[in-house]
């Protein structure tokens, strides 16, 4: 599409290269039909592999030539009227001869490409062996939910293994540290088991410090130590050397800690880096190591657990759930036999089963379709060691549509940490993997669809720490597969290692790890001069890149984020193909004016650059810019002229006006500059207290705007008159109906904007799904949020003026409608003066019908609301409520009559006395509630967690009464966890005062606050273990 569009454009006419380009396009289209077949056969046929490389070389070079035509041609046309440009009537002889010279240069290059293509097309030894496949159409957009792809299956074997290892870990052996090794081949589930242990509630309670480190084969010592410090709650400012970082780690390991070292390839990470800090810390530590090599675990004196391969029945259960979901009984019985055969091909590896399930999920649920997968030639990979890379993984790649294959391969350039969906999408766009904007759908929208497709096929895994699935990881086996398939075209390279490349392969993508102070590239890469992507990872020492960049003239993606780079050379402006520049979290102090020459730059990331306070005015010349990310960079202002960047779709930090430390005559931007940016999807607007009148309506013409942040600086010195003008502007700053996410921070006025408190807020924001309101000290009344028809997530924080929430939050609800009809998560946090949620929320509406309230609410959080006297009555009507967390609500005395609640956590509620009449409750956790006297009528309770104060020496009186009530009704909860003082623990030992209570419960875990003493008891099979009473 890019070539076709260029041929029709004015620049092509000026340069007079249309005929040659037309010939190039026709030949590429003719040969392109054979490319899909060639891709499938290139691994087993070296001649076809060579043919594919030659064709790709031409396609890459064609891409670069079109870039060159556009940039040079636009410069020629600058200042020329359209008519004269078309008739080539140049204003001076110099411009005429400059154009003739450029035409000749470009025409010669295109003719050279056509000559190369002719040779490829006429290679009679190749095309007869290939089949012509019609070019695939782009996948259509579909609504995707993170919950759809988050599903995982943990079998009983993993549960049993985790339980046994947790028991060993919790034993008090009085050793300073103890190492546990989880050993098994790649993809067998070592990390799944380690994660199960790490996230166990009992582990969380007994190890205040939990640290997860992904080590891998190319780890950086300093980065690992910094991650230890971060996980332990410290900061790394001022600590750069390994010695000072180790000293900092020692100071933080003051209590019991669990450290997981995932994917260890060498024992040095323990012996030479972490063992001494662990030994010298005050607390004791348990170390869990996952590794493929049992020898590594033995060298660390680990207690070794071998992870076994999945049996056929468990493998079929995993395949069935992930491929068929809630399939019918007929489907399951019809497909089981062939499904078991597919599981056998996966060699008992959960990862292989998951990716094959991704293939089957896209196929028809029929015996014929599943047999076709089983018979596929892609199971046979002659060049791959099947023990290292199961053939099932290659089949999942071979099944990908052609447009997804380069995207999948590109992901392997990122080291195994969390990858941002949005960053991936923009890098794919920069590399040319995504076609042009398609009507209302942008390239980035299409790229994100590709991302979700890879997630749904289990080729990328959602990061469990990401709330909405916009971050992912890639399993190391899949990364190894991708590196193999790239055949040296893309390389992950550790500085100091020797680069092995084939003379037939051109390196186009390079990801470098652990680079020194100066960026230096292997000479072979500089000589080839083909590099399109350069990414630095774990390179905190890197400060200078000056000498290299000028030699990378074809570079499209440059990512030096998280390095210590302090500046860019002026020669950066010569990188005419550069589309993606990521400087996030660097020490950059100045961006050169020459950046304005980057005519193709689409993404500029300069977030969290703590040393950068100004941007060059030339940034406003970047007419192709689509994303400008400035979050948490202390800029005094933005230069005027942002209105010229009409292609912007993401503006992460529009600063209004000028800060007090700004220098020079530039007064900064005002809201009016947003008016021409009609393509915006995402914008963050800061310092709205400096807004002037007249620009308030600038958001109205943003029909695609989805995410918006509005913030004020309540500490900034602003005249009262200016604040009043800014409030008038804010009242007219009405976002468009397309908005999906709204975040309002530090709102200084007494009433929310009129557009947000309007009775027709539902019509104004029909698509709003995520709403965050934080730190608004003066607003006493909330907007009518209950009318928002698609609101799914609501968070209200630090609303100091709110004393009561009443019917105003609902607004007028029409007969038969519901208030908060789609709300799933509701959070109230740090509401210091909030006293009540009015009872009128449960009354009938004006027509005498009972109001539907919160019909889809699943999770509710009431955190640090010390004056709230009662649980909001509206929660009693929330029929889908599963989770309620209440912390530090000291006036609350009772929690009752929540008929549908499944899980309840109460923590540090000093006045809470009663929990009762929760018939659906299955899980109850009580911590630091000293006034509790009654817990009853919990008919479905299965799991009770109780944390008593150090001074408590008796079990609470309500516990035996609750158990008696359960027995009389023929029920009993199955699991009891208790954290308590040593005297109370000892009273629970066999034949002691509380043994009668303990032995009635099927599964009991009791531990002292410091974790030094424990009791572990199970009823069936009967097991009893304790170290209490030992000297």
| Residue 660, pLDDT score | 63
| Residue 825, pLDDT score | 94
| Residue 145, pLDDT score | 28
Lowest-pLDDT choice from 302-311, 655-664, 1016-1025 = 655-664
Cβ atoms of 323 and 353 closer than 8 Å: no
Q: Which tokens hold the place of 26?
A: 């026709």
Residue, of 843 and 19, whose pLDDT is higher: 19
pLDDT tier for residue 493 given thresholds of 50, 70 and 90: confident
Residue, of 841 and 603, whose pLDDT is higher: 603
| Residue 513, pLDDT score | 86
Residue, of 145 and 453, whose pLDDT is higher: 453
| Residue 440, pLDDT score | 67
Domains of the chain by residue range: 2-129, 150-306, 750-881, 942-1031
Q: Measured between alpha carbons, how far is 558 from 426 in angstroms, rounded to an integer?
A: 12
Q: Which tokens hold the place of 265?
A: 């390839």
Residue, of 495 and 84, whose pLDDT is higher: 495
Q: What is the pLDDT of residues 757-814, one digit of tens each?
A: 888 899 999 999 999 999 999 999 999 999 999 999 999 999 999 999 988 898 888 7
Residue, of 223 and 584, whose pLDDT is higher: 584
- For residues 507-530, give the mean pLDDT: 88
* DSSP code string of 313-382: HHHHHHHHHHHHSS--HHHHHHHHHHHHHHHHHTTT-HHHHHHHHHHHHHS-SSHHHHHHHHH-GGG--T
pLDDT tier for residue 46 given thresholds of 50, 70 and 90: confident
Residue, of 444 and 5, whose pLDDT is higher: 444
- For residues 282-292, give the mean pLDDT: 91
pLDDT tier for residue 81 given thresholds of 50, 70 and 90: very low
pLDDT tier for residue 151 given thresholds of 50, 70 and 90: very low
| Residue 666, pLDDT score | 65
Question: Percentage of residues in the chain with pLDDT exceeding 90?
Answer: 40
Q: What is the pLDDT of residues 847-865, one digit of tens each?
A: 555 678 899 999 999 999 9
Lowest-pLDDT choice from 142-151, 492-501, 901-910, 995-1004 = 142-151
- For residues 554-572, give the mean pLDDT: 93
CA dihedral 794, 797, 801, 807 (to 10 degrees): 20
pLDDT value at 538 more than 90: no
Cβ atoms of 799 and 831 closer than 8 Å: yes
DSSP 8-state symbol, 880: T
| Residue 945, pLDDT score | 94
| Residue 71, pLDDT score | 77
Cβ atoms of 602 and 627 closer than 8 Å: yes
**Burial per residue of 511-521, b for 16 or more beta-carbon CB atoms within 10 angstroms, e otherwise:** bbbbbeeebeb
Residue, of 331 and 825, whose pLDDT is higher: 825
DSSP E strand boundaries for 552-623: 557-559, 580-582, 603-605
- For residues 60-81, give the mean pLDDT: 73
Three-state DSSP class for 551?
coil
pLDDT value at 682 more than 90: yes
| Residue 730, pLDDT score | 87
Most distant CA atoms of the chain, gap in Å: 107
Q: What is the pLDDT of residues 113-126, one digit of tens each?
A: 888 888 887 776 77
- State how far Cα 875 lies from the chain centre: 31
What is this structure's pTM? Answer: 0.79
Nearest to 391 by CA among 117, 806, 44: 44
pLDDT value at 1025 more than 70: yes
| Residue 153, pLDDT score | 44
Cβ atoms of 212 and 232 closer than 8 Å: no
Three-state DSSP class for 743?
strand
- For residues 274-289, give the mean pLDDT: 91
- State how far Cα 212 lies from the chain centre: 17
Nearest to 794 by CA among 768, 761, 818: 768
Supply φ then ψ for residue 784, to 5 degrees.
-80, 70
Nearest to 39 by CA among 30, 48, 47, 29: 48
Q: Measured between alpha carbons, how far is 407 from 452 in angstroms, rounded to an integer?
A: 12
Q: Measured between alpha carbons, how far is 929 from 890 in angstroms, rounded to an integer?
A: 9
| Residue 55, pLDDT score | 84
Helix (H) or strand (E) holding 835: none
Q: What is the pLDDT of residues 305-359, one digit of tens each?
A: 988 878 888 888 888 888 888 778 888 888 888 898 888 888 778 888 888 888 8
Q: What is the pLDDT of residues 159-190, one digit of tens each?
A: 888 888 988 888 766 788 999 999 887 778 88
User: How far separated are the first and last CA of the chain, in Å rounded?
Assistant: 79
pLDDT value at 561 more than 90: yes
Domain 150-306, architecture per CATH: 3-Layer(aba) Sandwich (3.40)
Q: What is the pLDDT of residues 255-274, one digit of tens each?
A: 889 999 998 888 889 998 99
User: Which residues fall within 8 angstroms of residue 729, CB to CB, at 6 or more apart?
Assistant: 671, 688, 691, 692, 693, 694, 695, 696
């Amino acid at each position: 599409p890019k070539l076709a569009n260029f041929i029709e454009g004015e620049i092509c006419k000026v340069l007079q290269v249309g005929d040659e380009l037309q010939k190039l396009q026709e030949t590429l289209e003719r040969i392109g039909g054979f490319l899909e077949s060639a891709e499938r056969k290139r691994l087993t046929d070296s001649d076809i592999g060579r043919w594919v490389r030659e064709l790709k070389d031409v396609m890459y070079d064609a891409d670069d030539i079109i870039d060159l035509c556009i940039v040079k041609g636009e410069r020629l046309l600058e200042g020329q009227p359209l008519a004269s440009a078309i008739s080539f009537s140049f204003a001076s002889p110099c411009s005429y001869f400059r154009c003739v010279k450029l035409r000749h240069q470009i025409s010669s290059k295109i003719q050279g490409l056509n000559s190369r293509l002719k040779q490829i097309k006429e290679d009679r030894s190749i095309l007869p062996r290939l089949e012509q496949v019609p070019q695939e159409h782009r996948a259509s957009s579909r609504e995707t939910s993170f919950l759809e792809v988050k599903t995982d299956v943990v079998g009983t074997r993993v549960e049993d293994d985790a339980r046994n290892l947790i028991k060993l870990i919790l034993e008090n052996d009085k050793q300073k540290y103890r190492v546990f090794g989880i050993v098994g081949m790649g993809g067998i589930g070592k990390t799944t088991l380690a994660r199960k242990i790490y996230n166990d509630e009992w582990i969380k309670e007994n190890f205040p410090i939990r640290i997860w480190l992904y080590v891998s084969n190319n780890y950086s010592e300093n980065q690992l130590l910094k991650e230890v410090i971060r996980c332990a709650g410290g900061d790394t400012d001022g600590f750069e050397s390994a010695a000072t970082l180790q000293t900092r780690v020692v100071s933080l390991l003051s209590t019991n800690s669990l450290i997981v070292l995932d994917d260890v390839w060498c024992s040095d990470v323990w012996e030479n880096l972490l063992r001494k800090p662990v030994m010298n810390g005050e607390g004791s530590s348990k170390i869990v190591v996952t590794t493929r090599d049992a020898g590594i675990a033995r060298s660390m004196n680990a207690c070794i657990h071998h992870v076994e391969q999945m049996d056929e029945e468990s493998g079929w259960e995993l395949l069935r759930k992930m491929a068929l979901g809630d399939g019918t009984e007929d489907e399951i019985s019809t497909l089981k036999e062939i499904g078991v055969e597919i599981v056998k091909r996966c060699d008992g590896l959960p990862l292989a089963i998951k990716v094959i399930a991704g293939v089957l999920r896209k196929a028809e649920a029929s015996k014929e379709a599943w047999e076709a997968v089983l018979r596929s030639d892609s199971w046979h990979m002659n060049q791959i060691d099947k023990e290292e890379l199961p053939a099932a993984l290659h089949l999942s790649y071979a099944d990908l549509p052609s447009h997804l294959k380069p995207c999948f391969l590109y992901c392997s350039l990122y080291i195994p940490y969390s990858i941002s969906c949005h960053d991936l999408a923009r890098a794919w766009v920069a590399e040319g993997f995504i076609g042009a904007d398609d009507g209302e759908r942008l390239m980035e929208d299409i790229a994100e669809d590709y991302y979700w497709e890879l997630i749904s096929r289990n080729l990328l895994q959602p990061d469990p720490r990401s709330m909405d699935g916009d971050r992912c990881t890639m399993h190391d086996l899949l990364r190894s597969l991708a590196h193999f398939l790239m055949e040296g075209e893309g390389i992950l390279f550790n500085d100091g290692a020797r680069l092995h490349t084939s003379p037939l392969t051109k390196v186009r993508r390079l990801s470098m790890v652990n680079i020194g102070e100066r960026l230096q590239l292997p000479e072979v890469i500089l000589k080839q001069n083909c590099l399109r992507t350069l990414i630095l990872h774990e390179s905190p020492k890197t400060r200078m890149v000056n000498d290299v960049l000028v030699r990378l003239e074809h570079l499209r993606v440059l990512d030096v984020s998280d390095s210590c780079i302090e500046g860019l050379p002026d020669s950066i402006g010569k990188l005419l193909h550069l589309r993606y520049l990521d400087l996030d979290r660097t020490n950059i102090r100045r961006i050169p004016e020459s950046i304005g020459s980057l005519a193709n730059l689409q993404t500029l990331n300069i977030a969290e650059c703590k040393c950068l306070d100004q941007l060059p005015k030339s940034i406003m010349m970047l007419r192709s810019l689509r994303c400008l990310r400035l979050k948490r960079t202390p800029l005094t202002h933005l230069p005027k002229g942002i209105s010229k960047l009409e292609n912007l779709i993401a503006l992460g930090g529009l600063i209004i006006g000028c800060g007090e430390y700004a220098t020079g005559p530039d007064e900064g931007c005002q809201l009016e500059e947003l008016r021409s940016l009609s393509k915006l999807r995402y914008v963050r607007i800061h310092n709205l207290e400096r807004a002037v009148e007249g620009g308030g309506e600038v958001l109205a013409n943003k029909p695609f705007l989805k995410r918006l942040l509005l913030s004020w600086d309540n500490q900034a010195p602003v005249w009262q008159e200016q604040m009043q003008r800014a409030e008038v502007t804010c009242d007219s700053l009405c976002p468009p109906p397309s908005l999906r996410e709204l975040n309002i921070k530090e709102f200084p006025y007494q009433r929310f904007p009129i557009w947000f408190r309007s009775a027709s807020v539902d019509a104004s924001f029909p698509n709003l799904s995520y709403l965050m309101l934080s730190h608004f000290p003066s607003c006493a009344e909330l907007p009518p949020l209950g009318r928002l028809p698609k609101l799914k997530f609501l968070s209200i924080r630090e609303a100091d003026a709110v004393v009561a929430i009443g019917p105003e939050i609902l607004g007028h609800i029409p007969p038969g409608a519901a208030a908060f009809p789609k709300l799933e998560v509701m959070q109230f946090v740090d509401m210091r003066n909030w006293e009540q949620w009015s009872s009128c929320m449960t009354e009938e509406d004006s027509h005498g019908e009972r109001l539907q309230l919160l019909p889809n609410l699943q999770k509710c959080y009431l955190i640090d609301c010390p004056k709230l006297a009662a649980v909001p009555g509206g929660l009693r009507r929330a029929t889908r409520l599963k989770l309620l967390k209440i912390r530090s609500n000291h006036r609350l005395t009772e929690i009752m009559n929540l008929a549908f609640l499944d899980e309840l956590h109460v923590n540090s509620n000093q006045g809470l006395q009663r929990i009762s009449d929760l018939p659906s409750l299955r899980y109850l956790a009580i911590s630091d509630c000293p006034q509790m006297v009654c817990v009853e009528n919990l008919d479905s309770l299965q799991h009770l967690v109780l944390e008593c104060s150090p001074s408590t020496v008796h079990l609470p009186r309500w516990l035996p009464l609750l158990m008696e009530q359960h027995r009389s009704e023929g029920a009993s909860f199955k699991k009891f966890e208790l954290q308590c003082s040593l005297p109370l623990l000892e009273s629970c030992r066999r034949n002691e005062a509380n043994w009668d209570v303990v032995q009635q419960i099927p599964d009991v875990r009791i531990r002292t606050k410091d974790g030094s003493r424990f009791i572990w008891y199970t009823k069936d099979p009967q097991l009893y273990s304790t170290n209490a009473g030992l000297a």
